[in-house]
């Protein structure tokens, strides 16, 4: 009986874990997550663990008042794992980045982080 239960559960654990790692997750960002930069960046660049679908991958950057400060649409670079968006000139302050991406495996992931411009 235990052998049957193990034979049923083991493949689900193995394949379920593999599928969970296949989603595009944020690897690192520039500006850094929670970082402070001076001078103000001209772009936000996000590196992901999987290739992305460009038509369904976005970055929204807002200031402390909630106004959007990105310039243009997000675009893919490199091997389709880097998503970038240009920024308007940013005065000192705190900025929020919200990203939402569709990986080539058809899974959507999203997240938020902030960075600061200043000394």
Q: What is the CATH number of domain 23-117?
A: 2.60.40.1220
Selection from 109, 3, 12, 11 nearest residue 56 by Cα:
109
pLDDT tens profile 8-57: 434 444 444 444 456 899 999 999 999 999 999 999 999 999 999 999 99
3 pLDDT above the threshold of 60: no
Query: pLDDT averaged over the chain?
Result: 86
Q: What's the pTM?
A: 0.80
The β-bridge relationship of strands 36-37 and 108-117 is: parallel
1 pLDDT above the threshold of 60: no
Helices (H), 1-119: 2-21
């Amino acid at each position: 009986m235990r052998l049957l239960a193990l034979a049923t559960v083991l493949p689900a654990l193995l394949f379920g874990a593999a599928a969970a790692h296949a989603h595009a997750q944020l690897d690192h960002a520039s500006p850094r997550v929670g970082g402070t930069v001076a001078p103000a960046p001209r772009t936000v660049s996000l590196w992901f663990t999987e290739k992305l679908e460009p038509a369904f991958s976005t970055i929204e950057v807002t200031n402390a008042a909630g106004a959007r400060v990105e310039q243009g649409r997000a675009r893919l670079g490199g091997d389709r794992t880097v998503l970038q968006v240009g920024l308007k000139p940013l005065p000192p302050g705190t900025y929020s980045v919200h990203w939402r991406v569709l990986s080539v495996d058809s899974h959507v992931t999203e997240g938020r982080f902030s960075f600061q411009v200043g000394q």
